[in-house]
Structure 1
Amino acid sequence: MKAINWFAAGMFGLVAVLPAQAATVVDFQDVFQLEDGYGGLSGWNELGSLNSGALPGEQRFHGGTGSLTFDQGGVRLLGMDFVTWTGDMMGGFRLFNDGVQVYEYLQSDWLNDPYWLDIPYAGPVDRIDFISSSDGFLIDNLTYTAAVPEPGQWAMMLGGLALAGFAASRMRSAVKAGG
């Protein structure tokens, strides 16, 4: 039983020292012309362009109806600065994984400037379909991570398993001593 406890403690220690998964932030500040693959996404040129007339450090992406795909496959989309001007229809976006829609956001109020929008869906996403009218939408700071569990989540899981194993071992020892 001691071997199992040592193994669990070793795994916990190993996972605890792994670096956390860094988020990718697509902020458009370091480009003058977008190409597919920028920020790990494809479909930029068909969807829109960088907004013209922006002050330095305030560049955003202006697009219309269309799709962006994540080049690495499924990711966890955390959020983005987003606004759409839609006129009579409701604009927004839909998230997909393996061709199946997993989330939809429709903006219900007329707003002028992008606002941070947390994405409550925590599963993998491999495509974003934007819904807009001729006025389009703006995005900035599109933020995502890999869709696999992060090292901290693994550490908590392994720590919980180690504690459960330790508690079970103590209970067996107490039963043997009493019986």
Structure 2
Amino acid sequence: MKKAFTIALALAMAAGAQFASATVLNFDDLSGNADPVPTNYGGLDWSASGWVSFNGSDSSDPYTPHSGSNVITLSWDGTDALSLVRFGQAATFDGAWFSGYAEGDVTFQLFYQGQLVGTSATLDPSATPSFLASGYAGLVDAVGIKSNAHAFYVMDDFTFTAAVPEPSVTLLMLAGLGATGFVAARRRRAQGDAA
């Protein structure tokens, strides 16, 4: 029983640690040839978006990558709607790095279950990459970028954290694993008594 509980606790802690780590999409594993960002890139849904990747190191200022070489941008006919990125599960969104022309001001719009739940500050990009924080600590399932001049900016190091399971879910999992261990131990004792 004690061994089963120890194993269950270790599994629950490992599962919690897995959900709590931040994910940073730096786009360096994409082609960088103005190809669309793949539909399920980084575990997110990019299918409704118009994002394309390109090698920012090959271009001149002001499209400077924050890290690595690749960045993403919207095409010249980009719109706020085409910037929308959906999450496969609820997450907290930290923000991303931007560079570009000051005319391409950017603001995050944060959505949860179809409702606008938060809006970030506005950033006027420059050739030096700057971090735009979401400014919202709650859960989101979609992020869009509002701008008066899409394609005048690039985005890099898109950072989010998948939602941590509720403590009640973890306790329920522990209880289930503990009950399984208890039944197995009882069954072994009953088989030992019968022999």
TM over 0.5: yes
Query: In 2, distance between residues paired with 1:134 and 1:125?
Result: 23
Q: How does 1:1-179 map to 2 (within 5 A)?
A: 14=9, 18-19=13-14, 20-21=17-18, 22-32=21-31, 33=35, 34-43=37-46, 46-52=49-55, 54-55=57-58, 57-63=68-74, 64-65=78-79, 66=82, 67-70=84-87, 72-83=88-99, 85=101, 87=103, 90-132=105-147, 133-148=149-164
Bigger Cα displacement from structure 2, 56-65 vs 22-31: 56-65
Q: Provide Cα deviations, 1:8-46, integer angstroms capped at 9, x if missing partner.
A: xx89x9379813232221111112142100012222674
SS in 2 for 1:14: helix
Going from structure 1 to structure 2, the CA distance change for 1:17 and 1:140 (only over 3 Å counts) comes to: same
C-alpha deviation, 1:149, in angstroms: 5.1
C-alpha deviation, 1:134, in angstroms: 4.2
Query: In 2, distance between residues paired with 1:78 and 1:150?
Result: 20
Q: Provide Cα deviations, 1:52-79, integer angstroms capped at 9, x if missing partner.
A: 4535931111124321111x22111122
Any unmatched runs of 5+ in structure 2? Answer: 59-66, 171-195
Work out whether residues 53 and 72 of structure 2, in 8 Å CA contact, stay in contact via their aligned partners in 1: yes
Going from structure 1 to structure 2, the CA distance change for 1:119 and 1:108 (only over 3 Å counts) comes to: closer
Identity %: 30
* TM, length-normalised to structure 1: 0.62
* TM, length-normalised to structure 2: 0.58
Work out whether residues 121 and 132 of structure 2, in 8 Å CA contact, stay in contact via their aligned partners in 1: no
Q: How many residues align?
A: 142
Work out whether residues 120 and 136 of structure 2, in 8 Å CA contact, stay in contact via their aligned partners in 1: no
Work out whether residues 108 and 120 of structure 2, in 8 Å CA contact, stay in contact via their aligned partners in 1: yes
Work out whether residues 105 and 125 of structure 2, in 8 Å CA contact, stay in contact via their aligned partners in 1: no
User: Amino acid of the residue matched to residue 51 of structure 1?
Assistant: F
Bigger Cα displacement from structure 2, 39-48 vs 120-129: 39-48
